[in-house]
A and B are shown apart, each in its own frame.
Chain A
Amino acid sequence: MYKADLRAIRFTLYEHLKVQRLFELETYAHLSREECDAIIDQCFRFATEVTGPLNASGDRTGCRLADGRVSTPPGFKEAWKKLFELGLMSFTIPVKAGGFGGPHAIGVILAELQSGANTAFNMYPGLTHGAADLLEHCALPEDQQRFLPPMLDGRFAGTMCLTEPHAGSDVGATRTRARHLEGNVYALSGTKCFISSGDHDLSENIVHLVLARIEGAPAGTKGLSLFIVPKIWVNEDGSLGAPNDVATASIEHKLGIKASATAVLNFGENGRCRGILVGGRPHEGMRQMFRMMNGARIAVGVQGIAVASAAYLNALAYARERLQGSSVRHFKDPTAPRVPIIEHADIRRMLLEMKAKVEGMRTLAVKLALHADLAAALAATDEGQAAYHEGQVDLLTPVVKAYCADQAFRICEMAIQIYGGAGYVQDHPVEQYLRDAKIFSIYEGTNHIQALDLVARKLQSRGGENLTAFLKEIGGFVAEHGARPGLAAEVRALGEAAAALQRAAGALLEFFMGGKLDQVTMVANAFLEIVAEVTIAHLLLEAAVVAGAGHGAADDEHGQEEFDFARGKAMAAKHFVNYVLPGVHTKVSAITGGDRSALDIPDGGFSTAR
C-alpha cells in the first residue's frame, strides 16, 4: 500500500524551509498555505485511492501493442481522466497560460506523492506537463493556443523524443531529418527509440516534441531543431485532422515501470509526417529542449525520493509487525519472548539510514525548487538575488537528479533486506519498487552525464560563484551552530567535510588546467556524491536544529509525539554525519591523491575472457 509521511513533509515545507514566505511575494500572493495544504491533501487522497491501487496490477499486466496501438493496464484511463478533472497537473503552470501559478516547492511534493503511489502511471501526465511547460516557454502564441489548453485538460498527452538507436547519451548524433515545407511546417523522417508514453490510449492525441536536424544544418547539438509533431494533425482551429504518419514499431519489455509504454517510433515512413518548428526558430532545439530536460531532471530526482520514501515507510511498518528472534539481552534464553524486528539494532540502523537519506533528499529537492521559485519571483525586482538563486538551481539540478536516483535504488535494496525473504517476492511492494527505481539513474541523461554537467559546466559557470555561495551558506551554519549542545561534534564534522569538498574542487581545477580531462571524468561521479552528501548533512543538521533537538524530554509543552519527532530528526542527522559523511573524506583523498587506476589498467587487463 502506498504510504507517505505528511507530517514530515509539512515540517520540511513550512517549519524548516519556510516556503510560506513565497506567499508574501507578488508572484505567489494569490495563494496561501491553507490552500496548498488542501491541495496536498487532495493529491495524497488521489494517490492512495486512485493510482496507488493500480501500481502492482499495472506492473503485472504491463502495456500491450496490438495493431499499431498501445493499450495501458486496466484502470489507467479512469485515473487519467480523474487526474485532469482535479487539475493537479496545472498547479505550477502560470495563471496566464491557464494554470494555477503555484510554486514549484509545493509542486515537488505533489509530484512525489503521485510518483510514489504509481511511478509508471505518473510518467504519462508527468511528460505531458513537461511538454506543456516547454511550449508555454518556447512556442509561438498561436501554437500555444492550439496545443496548450488540450494538454492542460488531458485531451492531449506529451512526450520528449531525443534518443535514437545510435544517439543516446550523445544527443548530437541525432539523425532524424526535417525538410522545409512552408512557413514553420517541416516534413520529418527518422526513428526515435525508448520514447516514454510514445503511444497509449489515455488521451485523444499525443504531442511529440522531436529533436531533428534541418537539411543542411551543422553537425552536433548546435544543428538541432525542435518540432511539435502531433500523432494526429491539429488544424489551426484546434480540430483534429488526419493521422500524421507517426508509427509505433514496438514497445520494450523491461525490468521496471512496466506500465509505462517505452516505444520505438517511426516518423514519416510514408513521407507524410509534418512537424511545426517550435518558436519558429531553427537550430535552437537543444536550448529549448533543455527547458524540458532541466524540469525532467528534477522530476527524476523526485521520482527517486518518492519511491525511496514509499519503500522506507513500508519497510518500517513491516519491521514493527514482523516477530522474529528475541532481544539480544536474552540471547541465552530460548524461551524469551519473540520481538518485532524493529527492536534489532541492525534493522534500526538500516531504517535510520533510510530515514536520513529520504528526508534529506526531500529537503534538498524542495530547497532546489524554492531557489527556482525565488529566482522567478525576484527576477523583476532584485536581479542580484535572482541570479544567486538561479545559480543554485543550476548547481543543484544534476546533484538532485543523480544522487536521488542512485540512492533510491540503494534504499529499495535496504527495504528488501529488512523484509527478508518476504521482500523478495511479489506479495509485498518492495521488489517492484527496486525494479522501478533502476531506470532513474539511466534516463534523462545517465548519472555520469549529470556528473559531467556538474564538473564541466555548473562548477565553472558564473566564474565559480555558484559553489562559493553554496559553501558560504554552509560556513555560516557551521559558525552559528558549532557549539550547539548535542550536535556540536556533528556540526564541526560538516565544516570539515565542506573544507574537503573545496579541496576536491581545487584538484578538479588542476586536472582541467593540466589537461587531464580523463581524470576529471573518472572522478566526476564521486565529486557529485561529495556535493550531495555535504548538502544533505547540512540540511539534516539544520532540520534537527529547527525541530528543537535541544529539549531533553517530553514535557507538558512538548507532547510525546513532538518530542519523538524532534529526537528522530536529531538522530537522523547524527547517523548521517557519523556513518555516511565520513565517506566524503575517502573520496576526496582518492581524488586529491591523483589515483589513475581505472585509467591505467589496459583494456586487456580486465580479463582475458572474451
Chain B
Amino acid sequence: MNRSSKLSKVYLALVFIILYTPIFYLIFYSFNSGGTMSSFKSFSLEHYKAVFADTRLIMILINTIIIALLSALISTAIGVIGAIGIVYLKNRKSRNALLSLNNVLIVSPDVIIGASFLILFTMVGVKLGFASVLISHIAFSVPIVVIMVLPKLQEMSSTLIDAALDLGASKREVLSRVIIPYIKPGIFAGFFLALTYSLDDFAVTFFVTGNGFTTLSVEIYSMARAGITLTINALSGLLFIVTLLLVLGYYFVTNRTKNPLRTGVPK
C-alpha cells in the first residue's frame, strides 16, 4: 500500500512537471538578456521593460481584462437565471431540449462559433470591435455558467423552498435568501471559468474582432507570425501571474462561502 501511494505520487509529480515545464521554460527565457531562446546570456528585465514601454500592448492587455471581466459578469447573470429557469421548467420535454441545446454550444468548436458570429454581425450590421467581441464572449460563456450552476440546483431539495415559503418568504426572498446562497459555489465556479475562457480565447475573437481592436491572444498570435521576440515571453509570464492570482482568488472566495456569515450571537 505504501509502495503504491509512493508510485502514485511520483506519477503525479511527473505529470505536473511535463505540464509546467514549457511554461517555466518560456518564463525563464523572458529574463534572458540575449535575443533568443537558444542560449541564456544573463539575467535582465529588458523584455518586461519593453512590454511596459509599449503603450499599445498595455492597452490591449487592459482591453482583454475588461472584456473578460465584463463578459464573465454578464454571462454569469444570464447563465444563473437560465439555469434556474431550466430546472424549474414544468415541462420535462422542453427542459431536456434546452439542456441539449446548451450542451451542444459547449462542445461545438470555437471556429464554428466564431465564423457564425462573424456572419451574424455582418448581416445585422454590428461594427466589428469591442461590442462584437464582448457579445460573442458572453455567448460562449453562458453555457459554461449554466453547466457549472445546474448540478447545485439539481441537488437542492425542493423542500428547502417549501421551508422558506412556510417561514413567510416571498418568491423573491426565496431566490435571494435560499436559492442564490445555496448555489453560490457553482456561481463562482462558473464566473471564474467564464473569465479564463474569455482571457485565453483566440479562435472566436480572431473572427469577430476588427477596426484595430484586439485582445492579447490575437495580438500574441500576430506578433509570433512577425517573428519570435522575447517580449512575447515576458507577456506570457505576466499573463501566467495574472492567472495564478485568479486561481488564488477563486480559492479564497470559495473557501469563504463554505463558512457563511456568522451573524450569530456575540460571545
Instruction: State whether these chains interact.
Output: no
